[in-house]
Structure 1
Amino acid sequence: MTQNIYSRIHLAYSLVDSSQVSTFLISILLIVYGSFRSLNMDFENQDKEKDNNSSSGSFNGNSTNNSIQTIDSTQALFLPIGASVSLLVMFFFFDSVQVVFTICTAVLATIAFAFLLLPMCQYLTRPCSPQNKISFGCCGRFTAAELLSFSLSVMLVLIWVLTGHWLLMDALAMGLCVAMIAFVRLPSLKVSCLLLSGLLIYDVFWVFFSAYIFNSNVMVKVATQPADNPLDVLSRKLHLGPNVGRDVPRLSLPGKLVFPSSTGSHFSMLGIGDIVMPGLLLCFVLRYDNYKKQASGDSCGASGPANISGRMQKVSYFHCTLIGYFVGLLTATVASRIHRAAQPALLYLVPFTLLPLLTMAYLKGDLRRMWSEPFHSKSSSSRFLEV
């Protein structure tokens, strides 16, 4: 009896450990921030389209921002397969491709972190610098804020390569999370269910069953395996001597968020896929909430089905799904503490986000529209959504 009470107290204490609290807060903040960055990008693109249409006097049907990638049903079905192939390549040939993979990851992290810093740099440069773009020849034209954010990002990546500090790795992983949530779109609830269901099976298989086939937990090994520092590899290739570039640490790649506990005895880890994939769903429902708010404004406050209470009508899909994400993350944490082993977080995150969303959409009468073609093609005039 005493042992059971002690184990429960220990479990409760581990859940409020600083590493777990940091993981919860940061992952939720990244999803919320990335979703609103995505919504603001839509507003900016709509304004640019209106300006272009008014200046040209005609409508350009191909006005979608080329930097935004929309996932269709075929891509949603094959993405888990592609992820599995990439995972196997990293598992079997990590030693051969680790330097190339590290460099590519560093380049992507530099661009993503510059995107994360851009609003802050725009705020800092607005009083002292006009928003005119500076030409760099074939490289393109950039504002002072874009140049500042890119310079700071390059500096951070260089310090990370030299030190390998976990905090800098987390910063780069945060940039990757926000950029992927902001630039990737789920067009409908059907595509969302296909993608998240496939990734749930992918996550469960590679965490629970890969050890029976490959005699090792493929997911955990790839996620935790450090890579050789490119500076060290370059020093050895060029024979620069034993004291040049040899004291740099191996790098843990920014494919995850890690936070140390208050005692420093362990790290809490969460893969960026466990943030980005539910984050894409949150981004989708935020866009739908905004669309529905515009539509209800255009129809002078038309209400939903008569059997739905006014209080439920006021609950947004974004709030419902975000609460589900929190509960799913909490459940995954409890499961990992009970079983004392790595858990596929999507096994808990996908049901706790999709099922409440599907239930609420059915009760509100929006399920059919959200399932296939949730958005009209017309541009909206609303600029902000209260959350």
Structure 2
Amino acid sequence: MSETVDNIIEAVNSTNGTDAAESILKKTPATFEGMMIAYSSLVIMALVPIFFGAFRSVTLHIQNKIKKEVPESMTAKDAMMFPLIASGALFSLYIVFRLFSKQYIDLLVTLYFYILGVAALHNLLCTWFNAIMPTCVPKKEYKLDFIEGAEDTKIEHINVKFTSHDVLCFLLCALLGTVYLYNKHWIMNNIFGLAFAINGVEFVHLNNIKIGSILLCGLFVYDIFWVFGTNVMVTVAKSFDAPIKLVFPQDILENGIVGAQNFAMLGLGDIVIPGIFIALLLRFDLSLKRKTNLYFNATFLAYFLGLLTTVFIMHVFKAAQPALLYLVPACLLTPMAIALVSGDLKALFSYEDHSMDTVEKSKTVEIKED
């Protein structure tokens, strides 16, 4: 009975009172078996984008080296500012949800994430889709150009090459997005959430360990403050009806896939932020040219254990937990301990995907072109 009362109080505090309390009362209480299935599924879904996203980041890194391109990287200043910017964005969303009707906010947010989600899913599936397309379906190549000015002073704003197979893949992703718009089913939410997470780990680039450490330490404090210090993060997470979190029903055994209502959730930030750091460690492993990905494997395992710790403490205390409180120490201390024992500490902290001079020059060129 006390758990039901706690759920009602939480609903009243985090959403709009009476309606939320009534919806909580209709939820089927989570059984131990249901919770174990939900938590296990969330842990597995968290590991998948980090693993595949890390290896995709290596492929992207190799392609950039071949093309002699420097990806846009986060600087130390960016890493220090990120928790402050994230805090401002989080609190702004909290105020918006308090002041305006959730119906209109959901409409705008859903359309925004529909566009982003279709693009992220297309990027994830296009290579696989091209590989399985039968030969009877013609593969025609197209090019989209948008050029400003005359021949001698022209500026190329858009130069996109694609095939008819890419168009078909995009239409399939748009169809899946439309299904999500129609029913907001948790499975569709997770499909787009996983696409966001894999793309995030692949494309968000940390150039060296120092920048990654600054970012993780800043978000460590950010997560603790907004979860333990206020109800802001929990409120926004529950109010935000968009694929920025992975969810899994705890009442799936009682109500099935369609009728489930009682969900456990994990924010994408708890996957992507540690994930981009673990991806950097995989690239560091490859730079050492050894036969094993020691730093990646050990930190990946540490992340897994940190996530299990988060779930365990959340279950024991029956309250939302800042996952980065457990994940950041696991992800930071593990590679440093291994480097200290292996004598790689200097190599770890001196490793850079690209020299900072090259990164700064590339940014200067981009600013001048803009």
Paired position in structure 2 for 1:323? 301
From 182, 201, 211, the equivalent of 2:221 is 201
From 279, 283, 286, the equivalent of 1:287 is 283
How do 1:1-387 residues align onto structure 2 when only pairs under 5 Å count?
13=32, 17-49=36-68, 63-64=69-70, 68-94=71-97, 95=100, 98=105, 99-125=107-133, 127=135, 133-136=141-144, 138=146, 140-210=160-230, 217-226=231-240, 252-261=241-250, 262-263=252-253, 264=260, 266-293=262-289, 314=292, 316-375=294-353
Q: Any gaps of 5 or more consecutive residues in structure 2?
A: 1-29, 147-157, 254-259, 356-370
Deviation at 1:104, TM superposition (A): 2.1
Change beyond 3 A, Cα 1:12–1:72: farther
Q: Which amino acid aligns with 1:83?
A: A
After superposition, the C-alpha distances for 1:234-292 in whole angstroms (9 at most, x for unaligned) are xxxxxxxxxxxxxxxxxx21110001124347322100000000100111011111111
% identity of equivalent residues? 33
Deviation at 1:187, TM superposition (A): 1.0
Q: Which amino acid aligns with 1:110?
A: V
- Aligned mates of 2:343, 2:165 — CA distance in 1: 44
After superposition, the C-alpha distances for 1:108-142 in whole angstroms (9 at most, x for unaligned) are 11111111212321212374567763134547321
SS at match of 1:71: coil
- Aligned mates of 2:176, 2:354 — CA distance in 1: 42
After superposition, the C-alpha distances for 1:184-211 in whole angstroms (9 at most, x for unaligned) are 111111111100110010000000002x
- Aligned mates of 1:128, 1:331 — CA distance in 2: 51
SS at match of 1:187: coil
SS at match of 1:150: helix
Q: Number of residue pairs matched? A: 302
After superposition, the C-alpha distances for 1:12-51 in whole angstroms (9 at most, x for unaligned) are 95697211111111111111011111111222333444xx
Q: Is the 8 A contact 2:282 2:295 kept in 1?
A: yes
Q: Is the 8 A contact 1:15 1:333 kept in 2?
A: no
SS at match of 1:258: strand
SS at match of 2:247: strand
Change beyond 3 A, Cα 1:322–1:14: farther
Paired position in structure 2 for 1:244? none
Taking only aligned residues, the RMSD between alpha carbons, in angstroms, comes to 2.5
Report the TM-score when normalising by structure 2. 0.75
Report the TM-score when normalising by structure 1. 0.72
Deviation at 1:182, TM superposition (A): 0.7
SS at match of 1:343: coil
SS at match of 1:196: helix
Q: Any gaps of 5 or more consecutive residues in structure 1?
A: 1-10, 50-62, 211-216, 227-251, 297-312, 378-387
Q: Indicate the structure with greater helix content.
A: 2
Deviation at 1:77, TM superposition (A): 0.4
Change beyond 3 A, Cα 1:103–1:22: same
